[in-house]
Structure 1
């Protein structure tokens, strides 16, 4: 889950400004899709229209406030995230391109990226009445990519559930050494599909909330609540270890919430834009937490998470790469290069089957990783528009 702590200055300049300032290229005439503008200020989330026809919809979000903001398109329940544009810096713009079925939705913005957000408003997607020609071969390739990714998500969550059972059992039994050894490799399954988990309303904070993001009166559960207890030497002065009852409570909730996630992904299906926006979202997870060392505040296993987010993004990209080669070969080659360069940097910090602790990285190491996330983020942010807007 995204950390909301202040980022080191050089990481902000190297990563967030690049990711937040990118506006997708116009790859075709606007007549083929609906384009709406969104003005996100400190107190409002002003969308230029309250409805759009079904099909491809582009939200062009501009941050007129003084804090980094996010824009959300939510499902009819107001909780499920259909699409999001994150980390939009003051004065900058970002596009969210989504493929929408007719129905009821909500739009909202979150200045400061904390709290309940502002300007939540109903948004309706109407029947388009358009019956364009269908390229059967292309449709088959898209369906293959969509179903393949759905299978990948189910497999990763199944592995997550199995690993969580073992981790929770070790934690409750007091075998802290075993629990610590299982922590990072088990969480990797979560991090590879993190953006999918985030789409299920309050399930993500139950499982992955950081202490820094707790709201007043909110119960802290999930991986990071247990992480703090497993690495007490890294906790603040005066920290009191959890008793047996609290350990059992946290472990039980972790297992139960993971099983809930497993049930929710059982019948998943995707559109092409959901896949590509998922890849973008996973890289933003890297930029906003992993490359800054904020995600794993006590265990310092951030590079495991970093790799897992990149793994998930690469799987998503690989599923649509052959389609992109037909539409924008130059962009595909650029993404190939930047993914490979980022992987090469990560590989420099491997230790055995895992990674060095984040605290062992030098300032130059962190800057190099941040710069490469920047280099990958720019073309990756153009992927959705390149594929779904003709």
Structure 2
């Protein structure tokens, strides 16, 4: 979900995301300054320290010297996302570790987190691939399988939701809405990596680009959510949108197997999922009409934990203190979430409008306590 997300929680998550580099075993010859790219973002510039760097594992050190919250992306020429970091607050710094193959790319800064961004063309040179621990190759293969399974499982649930909308059955559509989104929420970074799918299916009204018309251009789950809970009506427009949702999700299902996935993208994706929680779910902004935020929250945490568990055997050898802390914080957050559902086998969570200010603060603190060590996971599967 892409939107401008400004909140106290965002600031806390941004500060918590400052990363420290730890050693590990994925051999990449990523040593020295030639693989460190400094990115300085302002409200009207995106300066990079080098336009050419060796392929392999690269570290981006990002500083936001502007007045707006920004995002930084490394993009393929066709706008697919190699890696990204959202919600970089003014006056803050973040570090991002990524595996980048030889080729042409663009680094984009998005002040205000909208638009195509201010872009710089860069090139990764050489053809030497990162030498991975075989366990990491197995982790990537298993995660690719997981992402496909989630997409496959989402379609029938989304069709149940869409069919209820097309039948004009508001109550049945409401009942099917939240569970139709779980697979998407678990693997959202993979879907977002394509660039064009997320804006079609998961954008909120305030995430629309300048000049877009909410009546004509807003599509996807949240447009239908507003119709069901706020407008309390289903017209032919909603029925058409239900069909469009299935078309777009089918496109996602077919393309998910082609996503570029690396150990570092898995780790960074896990951190992105926690950022999604901090900036959209804990604040109640994501599901502002249905108040089903805790279902999304749980899906994001499950997806992040899946990536972590797959990478853990290698990360535990390289940084045992980190994995011990991650185990602790995942357990604490899951235990806290369990307070808000009927049983651990269901996704029947308390409506978020019934979660008080103090309880939201407790959830926010637990998310931030996990996000900080999780921001170090990518570095824990890369040798500098």
TM-score tier after normalising by the smaller chain length: over 0.9
2:257 partner SS: coil
Q: Distance in 2 between matches of 1:131 and 1:161?
A: 36
Q: Distance in 2 between matches of 1:184 and 1:362?
A: 21
1:39 partner SS: strand
User: What is the Cα deviation at residue 171 of structure 1?
Assistant: 0.8
Q: Distance in 1 between matches of 2:153 and 2:314?
A: 29
Aligned to 2:155, which of 133, 154, 161? 161
1:221 maps to 219
2:257 maps to 266
String of CA shifts for 1:61-115, please: whole Å, max 9, x gaps. Answer: 01111121111000121x2111001211111111111111111111110112123
Aligned residues: 372
Tell me if 1:174 matches 2:168.
Answer: yes
Q: Is the 8 A contact 2:3 2:208 kept in 1?
A: no
Q: Kindly report which structure 2 residues correspond to 1:342-381, keeping only aligned pairs within 5 A, or say none.
A: 342-351=333-342, 353=346, 354-381=348-375
Q: Distance in 2 between matches of 1:114 and 1:267?
A: 26
User: What is the Cα deviation at residue 33 of structure 1?
Assistant: 6.6
User: What is the Cα deviation at residue 23 of structure 1?
Assistant: 2.5
String of CA shifts for 1:285-311, please: whole Å, max 9, x gaps. Answer: 111101110000100000000000000
Q: Cα 1:370–1:148, aligned 2, differ >3 Å: closer, same or farther?
A: same
User: What is the Cα deviation at residue 269 of structure 1?
Assistant: 5.2
2:15 maps to 17
Q: Distance in 2 between matches of 1:13 and 1:6?
A: 8
Q: Cα 1:344–1:33, aligned 2, differ >3 Å: closer, same or farther?
A: farther
Q: Distance in 1 between matches of 2:160 and 2:367?
A: 33
Q: Is the 8 A contact 2:57 2:98 kept in 1?
A: yes
Q: Kindly report which structure 2 residues correspond to 1:74-89, keeping only aligned pairs within 5 A, or say none.
A: 74-77=75-78, 79-89=79-89
- TM-score, with normalisation over the residues of structure 2? 0.92
Q: Kindly report which structure 2 residues correspond to 1:269-284, keeping only aligned pairs within 5 A, or say none.
A: 270-284=261-275
User: What is the Cα deviation at residue 5 of structure 1?
Assistant: 4.5
- TM-score, with normalisation over the residues of structure 1? 0.91
Aligned to 1:251, which of 242, 246, 250? 242
1:209 partner SS: coil
Q: Is the 8 A contact 2:22 2:379 kept in 1?
A: yes
String of CA shifts for 1:92-140, please: whole Å, max 9, x gaps. Answer: 111111111111111110112123322x121111115x588x5xxx632
Q: Distance in 2 between matches of 1:16 and 1:93?
A: 9
Q: Distance in 1 between matches of 2:232 and 2:141?
A: 47
Q: Cα 1:123–1:179, aligned 2, differ >3 Å: closer, same or farther?
A: same
Q: Distance in 2 between matches of 1:89 and 1:253?
A: 35
Specify every segment of 5 or more residues in structure 1 that has no aligned partner in the other structure, as ranges: 233-238
1:121 maps to 120
Q: Distance in 2 between matches of 1:75 and 1:5?
A: 25
Q: Is the 8 A contact 2:282 2:293 kept in 1?
A: yes
Q: Cα 1:250–1:104, aligned 2, differ >3 Å: closer, same or farther?
A: same
User: What is the Cα deviation at residue 26 of structure 1?
Assistant: 5.2
2:27 maps to none
Q: Distance in 1 between matches of 2:304 and 2:377?
A: 12
Specify every segment of 5 or more residues in structure 2 that has no aligned partner in the other structure, as ranges: 25-29
Between 1:87-96 and 1:251-260, the stretch displaced more is 87-96
1:339 maps to 330
User: What is the Cα deviation at residue 31 of structure 1?
Assistant: 2.6
Q: Distance in 2 between matches of 1:94 and 1:324?
A: 21
Compute the RMSD of aligned alpha carbons: 1.9
1:383 partner SS: coil
Q: Kindly report which structure 2 residues correspond to 1:1-390, keeping only aligned pairs within 5 A, or say none.
A: 1-7=1-7, 9=8, 11-19=9-17, 22-25=18-21, 27=23, 30-31=31-32, 34-77=35-78, 79-118=79-118, 120-127=119-126, 139-215=133-209, 216-218=211-213, 219-232=217-230, 239=231, 241-243=233-235, 245-268=236-259, 270-351=261-342, 353=346, 354-390=348-384
